[in-house]
Amino acid sequence: MDRRILLLASFALCFSGCSSMRSLMLDEAPPSSSVADDVTHPRTPDQAYYAGLLMMQRGDPDRARREWSRCLAISSADSPYRLDCLVALEKLSSPGTLMP
């Protein structure tokens, strides 16, 4: 993935209320459990989608799959991020397909 996607994901998570972007980017341990909850349990579908992108950027497809599955679980049927998460999960499950 190129840096533009990482930058976009960073801004989206920061503006969506995720307070632990720095720890994600620098691979640091979160300072508190509430901050860890922001990362491991996004509150909105857009947070979950962009957290999945960050996990792919960091080379962790299993965690990306969990984030995108969570996006599906918390999004409404008409949420624009629902389709994005479905597509990302499909690409992830297709052998030989690289994520953007």
pLDDT (tens digit per residue) in 22-79:
445 555 544 444 444 455 566 899 999 999 999 999 999 999 999 999 999 999 999 9
pLDDT of residue 34: 43
Task: Assign 3-class secondary structure to 37-90.
Answer: HHHHCCCCHHHHHHHHHHHHHCCCHHHHHHHHHHHHHHCCCCCHHHHHHHHHHH
pLDDT of residue 83: 94
pLDDT of residue 100: 52
pLDDT one-digit tens code per residue, 90-100 = 999 887 655 55
Asked if pLDDT for residue 9 goes beyond 70, the answer is: no
Structural domain boundaries in the chain: 3-93
pLDDT one-digit tens code per residue, 10-19 = 555 554 544 4
pLDDT of residue 35: 42
